[in-house]
Structure 1
């Protein structure tokens, strides 16, 4: 299965995977408005991969087959203050 990957012009680290190049018919219009103008990034051959860096291939394949697209959102921001406080508690105990 070939997958076409596009990055968002409006949202950093946000990617859209579709089954046909430049075909966004299956993507809801409100999502496309939020996503902005898609910028082509790459073609992936999923059958040659066992894993991707930030995407579960099984979830990606399921979403593509059922919805015709997959939206990859950026990882949540790390709460550095919370992490620091937890490390302080561990160091005291």
Structure 2
């Protein structure tokens, strides 16, 4: 794996908090068509140089770089909604009404 990667990040036009990381030089070309249908129109968010030790919000940069090298892209899924937080919100809403 190379030490640096010029990475372009796109957000999904269809799913909140879903992001696609790709090698800037190749773009979304390696991404399977079926995934692009689910992802929707890729909206450019950010271009950055990734290094293995670069801090990212939800994932290790080394994992992103490895996925891009192996399959041509990395798909970041939306975070799971915590069911118990939803239950707490519903309980509080019920108490107020």
Report the TM-score when normalising by structure 2: 0.76
Where do 5+ consecutive residues of structure 1 fail to align?
A: 85-93
Larger proportion of strand? 2
Question: Aligned ranges for residues 1-93 of structure 1 at < 5 Å?
Answer: 1-20=5-24, 23-47=27-51, 50-80=54-84
Distance 2:86 2:46 in 1: 37
RMSD over aligned CA atoms reads: 2.1
4+ aligned runs moved over 3 Å, structure 1: 81-84
Q: How many residues align?
A: 84
Contact 2:52 2:65 in 1 (8 A): no
* Structure 2 gap ranges (5+): 89-97
User: What is the distance in 2 between the residues matched to 1:22 and 1:36?
Assistant: 18
With structure 1 as the length reference, what TM-score do the two structures score?
Answer: 0.79
Aligned partner of 1:88 in structure 2 is: none
